[in-house]
Amino acid sequence: MIKRCFDIFFSITGLLILFPLLICIAILVKFDSKGSVFFKQTRIGKNNKKFTLFKYRTMFISSKTSSNLTIGNNDARITNLGYYLRKHKLDELPQLFNILKGDMSFVGPRPEIPYFVKKYKPEYLEVLNVKPGLTGLASLKYKNEDELLKNTQNPETVYLNTILPDKIKLNKTYINSQSLALDIKILIKTIFSIF
How would you write 111-178 as a 3-class SS string?
CCCHHHHCCCCHHHHHHHHCCCEEECHHHHHCCCHHHHHCCCCCHHHHHHHHHHHHHHHHHHHHHHHC
Q: State residue 65's pLDDT score.
A: 54
Q: What is the pLDDT along the chain (195 residues), one digit of tens a residue?
A: 899 999 999 999 999 999 999 999 999 999 999 999 999 999 999 999 999 999 999 999 875 555 567 666 567 888 999 999 998 999 999 999 999 999 999 999 999 999 999 989 888 899 999 999 999 999 999 998 888 888 888 889 999 999 999 999 999 999 999 999 999 999 999 999 887
Q: How many structural domains compose the chain?
A: 1
Structural domain span for residue 56: 2-194
Per the CB < 8 A criterion, the answer to whether 109 and 186 are in contact is no
CB-CB contact of 79 with 58 (8 Å):
yes
Query: What is the structure's pLDDT at 155?
Result: 87
Helix (H, G, I), strand (E, B) or coil at 63: coil
pTM over 0.85: yes
Q: Is 104 left (phi over 0), alpha (psi -120 to 50) or beta?
A: beta
Q: Which pLDDT score, from 0 to 100, does residue 82 have?
A: 92
